[in-house]
Structures are given as C-alpha cells and as structure tokens.
Amino acid sequence: MSLSRVLRLGRALAPARRPLWGLWGPRPRGFAGGVLPAGAGASSEEEVLLLLRAAASDVGVNPLEVYQPWLLMDTLQQSLLLLHSATGDAGAAVVVAALLTRLATAPWNVKSLKRRCDAFVLMPVYMELAKAYTDAQARRGGRDGGGAAGAAKAEADLQKATARFQAFTEETRFSPVQGLGYQLGVVLPLGLTYFGALYGIMNHPDTFRSFVTSSSLWMDSLVLPDPYGVLPCLSALALLANAELNANPPQPGQEETAEYFKMVMRGAFLTWVPWTAGSLPAATFLFIATNGLYTAGITWFYRKYCWTPPKISAGWRLRS
C-alpha cells in the first residue's frame, strides 16, 4: 500500500465516523452521535493502527521493531503521553505541551520581545545613519565632481557619520536581526524536535497505542491528516495573524513596498495549506497553530502594555 493511498484512506475513514461538533473529550457513540455503532471502537482503533503501520513500512521503517529514540525526543514523547493521560484527550495534550514549552522559556521570550520591539524604533535611525555614511563614502576624493572642496567636505561628512554611527551602536547595541535569537534558537529547534518526536510516534504506533488511537476534535487520530483541512488553515491563519498584527509601520515613502510585501506574505501562508494539508499529521498543525496564536497574542500584549520605546538621541539625527 502506497503512502498516498494510506493518507487518502485515513481521510476517508475519519469523516465517516466523526462529526464537526464539540471540542475536547468524549463524544456520544452510536447513531445519535453520527459515528460508528457501539462496539465498533475497537475496529476503528485497529484501522488506525493498520494505516500507520502501512505508512511506516512504505518509508522503510519496521513499525514493530524496538524503538530507541534520542533522549530529548523521548522526553517530549513521554511528556505527551503523561499529558494525554492527565487530560484524557490527545489534542489537549498537544496544546498544553506547546504552551508549557513557551511558558518554560518565557524569560528569554520577554527579553527577545523587548529587543525586537526596540528594533521597530531603532531601525529607521540605523537606515538613516547607514545612508549618510554610504553617501559620504561615495563622495570621497571628489568623485561627485566637487573637486578639492567637495573632497574635503566628503571627509568631514564621513567623520561625522562615523562618529554618529559609533555613538548609536555603543548606546543601543543595535543589530538589524536583534530579537530573533529566541525564535531561531528556541522556538524553531523545539518545533523541529516536536516534529521528530511525532514522526517517531507515527512510525511506531503500537508503542504509543493509547495516544495514536485517541479520538480528538473531529478526528479518530491526530497522527492522521486532518480530513477537513481545518487545522492546516488554522495554523496558516495563526502565523498570518502574527505577521499582520505585529507588523512594523512602513516608513514614509515606502508604503507601496510594504503593501507589496504584505501581499507576498499572505500568498505564502495561504500556499502553505494545500501544500501540506494532506501530507502532515493533524497534531503538527495543532502545535504550529498554538505557537502562532501564542506568539501573536504575547507580542501584541507586550508591545501595547509593557514596552517602553527607547529614546532617540538628537545627536544621531544631527544633519551636516
């Protein structure tokens, strides 16, 4: 059985047994619940296991072999199992796991938020100083046709621009990429580790039977693709919300470029849905959506209620 056939079968099975109603926890069984009659639960669990075993075999993994994950992935997998046992729902376990990792790294997140918010104010100053320095460099030696007087003025302008640039960097320690260390050094590695842990669960479903056969939301298993594409859309909207809600206001004269960039971002996030909806497990999108909504919310809250913008020194903007 090919992987594409397994995924199609998984999508076909889930809608037949799970209506779009309710959120977490158990649902009515039988005809009243729009699902399989009583006594069919075991069959449904076996079908899920058969699907995942076949998918693992198609990628060259023996699903029944002894599974020995790396320590970090094993820790995350065991955490998911504990949260699943505590909440009784696989979806709730994924959401809680995502939130706990963010709360555990909150001090680094707050520091990163301050640096990133400061960049919104300091970036225009940085660009102005860089332009003044570049212009002075271009006029050195009378290359602008100003002769000896022009060359002397260029040297004076260059010294002023250098002094302003040095004062700016020493006082602010500004970097164009400041504040991105948390996303690149914490959130991204955790997301990749989570995907690796989930990939291990997918390829060894019998080892994690209670988790992979646990119904959640409208699905028989979060390890199968979302048959309705709701979670892929939600994950894309969460990422887009962060980009839209916390975007830096465009600089004067660059409104058209900013609008074009915004349209490109929207198109990229919307392309994410059809490209990944049928190939990734629903739990992955639930984890991404939780992180995206958390990032959008905490960034907006911090910027509006907790952040104090840095003061702009008059000497940085001094014109020659």
Side chain identity at residue 178, one-letter code? Q
Cβ–Cβ under 8 Å, residues 74 and 10? no
> Which tens digit of pLDDT belongs to each residue from 281-318?
899 999 999 999 999 999 999 988 999 988 887 766 65
Cβ–Cβ under 8 Å, residues 53 and 3? no
Q: Which residues have C-beta within 8 Å of that of residue 220, sequence separation ≥ 6?
A: 13, 14, 17, 18, 44, 47, 48, 213
- Residue 210 CB neighbours (<10 A): 11
Share of the chain above pLDDT 70, in %: 79
> Which tens digit of pLDDT belongs to each residue from 121-179?
888 888 888 888 888 888 776 666 666 777 788 788 888 888 888 888 888 888 888 88
d(CA 229, CA 237): 12
Question: Sign of dihedral through CA atoms 201, 207, 211, 214?
Answer: positive
d(CA 46, CA 235): 29
Q: Is 192 helix (H, G, I), strand (E, B) or coil?
A: helix
User: Tokens for 217?
Assistant: 């939301």
d(CA 320, CA 313): 16
Say which residue the tokens 């907006």 belong to. Answer: 300
* Backbone phi, psi, residue 208, to 5°: -120, 40
Query: What are the C-alpha distances in Å from 121 to residues 97, 150, 297?
Result: 34, 33, 20
User: Tokens for 142?
Assistant: 């009378």
The pLDDT value given to residue 17: 35
pTM listed for this prediction: 0.74
Q: Where are the domains of the chain?
A: 3-105+180-306
The residue among 245, 243, 234, 244 whose CA lies nearest residue 284 is: 234
Q: Which residue has the higher pLDDT, 103 or 252?
A: 103
Residues in the chain: 320
For the chain, give the longest Cα–Cα distance.
95
Task: Check residue 305 and report its DSSP letter.
Answer: I
Distance of CA 254 to the CA centre of its chain: 27
Which segments of 30-79 are extended strands (E)? none
> Which tens digit of pLDDT belongs to each residue from 116-132?
899 888 888 888 888 88
- Residue 142 CB neighbours (<10 A): 15
